Amino acid sequence: MGVVLASIAPYLAYIPSPARGVYYVGPIPLHVYGLMLAIGVLAATRVAEIQWARAGHEPKDIAEIAVGVIIGGVVGARAYHLMTDYQLYTHDWVKALKIWDGGLSIWGVLGGGIIAVVILTRRHHYDTLGIMDALAPGIVLAQAIGRWGNYFNQELFGTPSKLPWALEIDPAKRPAGYLQYATFHPTFLYESLYCLAIFGFLMWATRHIRFQRGQVAALYIALYTFGRFWFENMRIDPAHHVAGLRINAWVTLGIFIVAVAWFVLAGRAGEHADGPYTSEASGAPSAPDPASPEPEGVGAD
């Protein structure tokens, strides 16, 4: 038994990477990165429908804006990536169109997605902040799923590591200066697990905490950026630096500050969210309408 364990020990000391990220169904190539994104989108849409329905609205409202929000997110994600990592495409601009090879920035997703949400909710006369609150848990779940696409592409890993859960990376995928190392921190796994934890917390919190409109979305962004700052600084893929930090780390820090300010200001605004985030959901009496007449015998002191 000891001989068997000794023989397999080297293979248990790291997480192996997939040999490829593309599989074929007959003549049709199936890119796992794209598949993970598609599964994430479906999961996010379903969670948003559940949250929106719990808020007392029609689930079909989410379906009416979903395609536009997805398009806005993808366009924003690719545009941000091309602006911040343009050097990767200066010799092959056709490669810039191959989104299945990676290169979709979460900051672009948020920027493009928020713009799309604002436009589409205004057009359909939906509550913009309410929609954002409903979308937030599903988005972070989609991120947790989508990070596994990075695993199949062997990208966005961290510094060299000898930990038992270190990720094996093929020599061809290792950046310059790291060819002598075989295993690295699996930042995709760290971020995926962190996003799952945020998802679980948000789903619990929206059932037990009385939020104001917009606070759930702000809380999601604040929690995610708090963790992403550390994951970003673990990565070793080529990136532009400013004052010793990667540009995306500065962006993360800035968005975190904005999200915290948004959460605080939304709380001070005192606009209660619909459905599950109000006292009505827990059975407590709701605040009286100031425009309605007072019952007989009841008046102000």
φ and ψ at residue 162, rounded to 5 degrees: -115, 10
First to last CA, the chain: 84
Would the pLDDT of 17 be above 70?
Answer: yes
pLDDT attached to residue 174? 94
pLDDT attached to residue 101? 61
pLDDT in tens, 161-172: 999 999 999 999
Q: Report the pLDDT averaged over residues 154-179.
A: 94
pLDDT attached to residue 209? 94
pLDDT attached to residue 275? 47
pLDDT attached to residue 288? 45
Would the pLDDT of 300 be above 80?
Answer: no
Collapse the DSSP code of 245 into the 3-class scheme (helix H, G, I; strand E, B; otherwise coil) and give the result: strand
pLDDT in tens, 269-288: 766 555 444 433 333 344 44
Per-residue pLDDT band at 30 (split at 50, 70, 90): confident
Rounded CA-CA distance 16/136 in Å is 32
Per-residue pLDDT band at 21 (split at 50, 70, 90): confident
In this structure, are residues 185 and 244 in contact, taking their beta carbons and an 8 Å threshold?
no
Rounded CA-CA distance 168/66 in Å is 37
Rounded CA-CA distance 268/10 in Å is 56
pLDDT attached to residue 94? 61
Per-residue pLDDT band at 35 (split at 50, 70, 90): very high
Cα torsion 84, 90, 95, 97 to 10°: value is: 50
Region class of 283: left (phi > 0), else alpha (psi between -120 and 50), else beta: left
Q: Which of 12-21, 77-86, 159-168, 178-187 has the lowest mean pLDDT?
A: 77-86
Q: Which of 7-11, 42-46, 83-87, 121-125 has the lowest mean pLDDT?
A: 7-11
Would the pLDDT of 297 be above 70?
Answer: no
Quote the pTM value.
Answer: 0.81
pLDDT in tens, 214-254: 999 999 999 999 999 999 999 998 888 889 899 889 999 99
Q: Which residues of the chain form beta strands (DSSP E)?
A: 22-25, 28-31, 167-168, 183-184, 241-242, 245-246
In this structure, are residues 121 and 65 in contact, taking their beta carbons and an 8 Å threshold?
yes
Adjacent-strand bridge partners of 241? 246
Rounded CA-CA distance 107/98 in Å is 19
pLDDT in tens, 121-147: 999 999 999 999 999 999 999 999 999
Greater pLDDT, 124 or 3: 124
Greater pLDDT, 56 or 89: 56
pLDDT attached to residue 10? 52
pLDDT attached to residue 33? 87
Q: What is the mean pLDDT of the chain?
A: 84
In this structure, are residues 169 and 182 in contact, taking their beta carbons and an 8 Å threshold?
yes
Adjacent-strand bridge partners of 265? none
Q: Which residue has the tokens 């038992």?
A: 164
Percent above pLDDT 90 for the chain: 61
